[in-house]
Amino acid sequence: MLEGSRTFDIVWGSVTATICFALGAWVLFAWLRERGSGLPSMFGAAVDPQRKLMFAWGLFAMIMGGTNFGCRYIDHAYLEGVHEGFFALTLLVVGIDLPAMLRLTFVRRVRRSGATSAVACET
């Protein structure tokens, strides 16, 4: 289904791995930078008060980047469904991490600007 030529596999693996690595690095950098600041996790203070879930998703994104490289660079035609499974996991990582990090970035910018509206300072 997602299979193509060897060139397609390598290019697609490189693209998806780069996306996962970039997203994972962004999440882990935000986790590391904001650990003692009192600002909420990307999932909100009620869901992830100690930022453990944020760290786990950042680490998972980095691991998915590595497996996307390996999945496409190593020929394993005898394993049915591997590429489809990694594609689904990549969509999961991007679908959860990207919106949460964009929201967190927006909330932090609004807080730095001094806005006081309830919507803008939502945690």
Residue 86 placed within a domain: yes
Question: Cα(88)–Cα(107) distance, rounded to whole angstroms?
Answer: 29
Residue 72 placed within a domain: yes
Q: Alpha carbon of 66 to those of 11, 25, 30, 76, 100: distances in Å?
A: 14, 12, 20, 16, 22
Name the pTM for this structure: 0.70
Tens of pLDDT, residues 16-52? 899 999 999 988 988 888 776 766 778 877 888 888 8
- Tell me: pLDDT of 122 over 60: no
Residue 1 placed within a domain: no
**What is the total count of domains within the chain?**
1
Residue 106 placed within a domain: yes
Residue 121 placed within a domain: no
- Tell me: pLDDT of 123 over 60: no
Residue 101 placed within a domain: yes
Residue 118 placed within a domain: no
User: Which residues form the domain of 59?
Assistant: 6-113
- Tell me: pLDDT of 120 over 50: no
